[in-house]
């Protein structure tokens, strides 16, 4: 992200009021990103809204710690990661995993919609088989497009650990996809 983009983002979050963090603007702008991140981290669709609220409550509590020189989304992802981690530790959530799929109306061709939904379901199920630490790094890097240094700073882990988790997470994800497809690529 360029420094001009970061400056514009910081002004937006501060609501043009100098030093105040505009929580409403952050919530409106990033709610769908946080919700999608929670689902990618294994939160059931029916629980995602409640946990999204929890993420934003935690963000509100820590808003004074946000450094506008850093990108907002990786900072929010770190909150989502911690909330999803706590959620997944609860035994009641281990029994059933619901896979979120976009409505078929988003793709005009019903066959293409079905194939896309199946691919998404397969990916989310394969992601669900990954260790949460690897899953978080793979989601941030490969799905959200964050670079490794940003991931390391957001999750407060060493940079080499990020690279290792990306490599191992991809390997595990590919193996899981192949296993679920019956050995086909």
Q: How far apart are CA 152 and CA 138, in angstroms?
A: 12
Task: Phi first, then psi: give them for residue 66, nearest 5 degrees.
Answer: -70, 130
The answer to whether residue 116 sits within a structural domain is: no
Per-residue confidence (pLDDT) for residue 42, from 0 to 100? 87
How many other β-carbons are positioned within 10 Å of the β-carbon of residue 128? 16
Q: 42 near 97, Cβ under 8 Å? A: yes
- Per run of 10 residues, the mean pLDDT along the chain (length 185 residues) is 48 46 90 94 90 95 89 93 88 47 55 80 86 92 92 93 95 90 69
Q: 104 near 110, Cβ under 8 Å? A: yes
The answer to whether residue 107 sits within a structural domain is: no
Full-model pTM = 0.68
Per-residue confidence (pLDDT) for residue 150, from 0 to 100? 93
CA-closest candidate to residue 58, choices 37, 39, 79, 78: 79
The answer to whether residue 14 sits within a structural domain is: yes
The answer to whether residue 49 sits within a structural domain is: yes
The answer to whether residue 115 sits within a structural domain is: no
How many other β-carbons are positioned within 10 Å of the β-carbon of residue 46? 9
Per-residue confidence (pLDDT) for residue 164, from 0 to 100? 95
By CB atoms closer than 10 A (0-12, 13-18, 19+), residue 109 is exposed
Which CATH number is 25's domain given?
1.10.1740.10
Number of domains in the chain: 1
Per-residue confidence (pLDDT) for residue 19, from 0 to 100? 46
The answer to whether residue 106 sits within a structural domain is: no
Domain with 78 in it: 1-98
How many other β-carbons are positioned within 10 Å of the β-carbon of residue 124? 17
Per-residue confidence (pLDDT) for residue 111, from 0 to 100? 80
């Amino acid at each position: 992200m360029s420094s001009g983009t970061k400056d514009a983002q910081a002004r937006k979050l501060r609501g043009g009021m100098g030093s105040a963090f505009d929580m409403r603007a952050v919530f409106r702008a990033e709610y769908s990103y946080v919700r999608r991140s929670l689902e990618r981290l294994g939160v059931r669709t029916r629980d995602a809204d409640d946990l999204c609220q929890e993420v934003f409550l935690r963000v509100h509590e820590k808003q004074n710690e946000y450094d506008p020189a850093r990108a907002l989304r990786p900072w929010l992802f770190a909150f989502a990661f911690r909330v999803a981690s706590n959620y997944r530790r609860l035994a009641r959530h281990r029994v059933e995993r619901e896979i979120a799929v976009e409505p078929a109306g988003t793709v005009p061709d019903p066959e293409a919609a079905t194939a896309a939904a199946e691919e998404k379901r397969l990916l989310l199920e394969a992601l669900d088989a990954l260790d949460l630490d690897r899953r978080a790094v793979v989601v941030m890097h490969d799905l959200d497009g964050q670079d490794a240094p940003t991931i390391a700073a957001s999750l407060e882990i060493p940079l080499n650990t990020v690279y290792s988790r990306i490599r191992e997470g991809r390997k595990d994800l590919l193996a899981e996809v192949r296993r679920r497809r019956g050995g086909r690529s």
